[in-house]
Amino acid sequence: ENLVAEEKKEPLDLDFLLKQLEKLNVEQKKALKLISEGFSYKEISKFLGKPINTIRTIIRRARLKLSGQNKQF
């Protein structure tokens, strides 16, 4: 008996992904890329030369923009 739920694999919609990424500014793209590669907020702060709280804000706004919850940022 398999107790682990089988993950449903859906094909990646590249067009959708590219359209979503177009919503982001350059800083947001850089920050999300670094987060996805496993870097910490502190490391990203050093890489981009910005205070850590600014990095947190950049990432939070990018996530909101991608989720469609806030179109202002």
Q: Has residue 46 got a pLDDT over 80?
A: yes
Tell me which amino acid residue 68 is.
G
Higher pLDDT, 10 or 47: 47
pTM of the model: 0.72
Q: Has residue 1 got a pLDDT over 50?
A: no
Structure confidence by residue, pLDDT tens digits, 18-45: 888 888 999 999 999 999 999 999 999 9
Q: How confident is the model at residue 71 (pLDDT cuts 50, 70, 90)?
A: low
> Token pair of 3, please?
């107790």
Torsional class of 14: left (φ above 0), alpha (ψ -120 to 50), beta (otherwise)? alpha
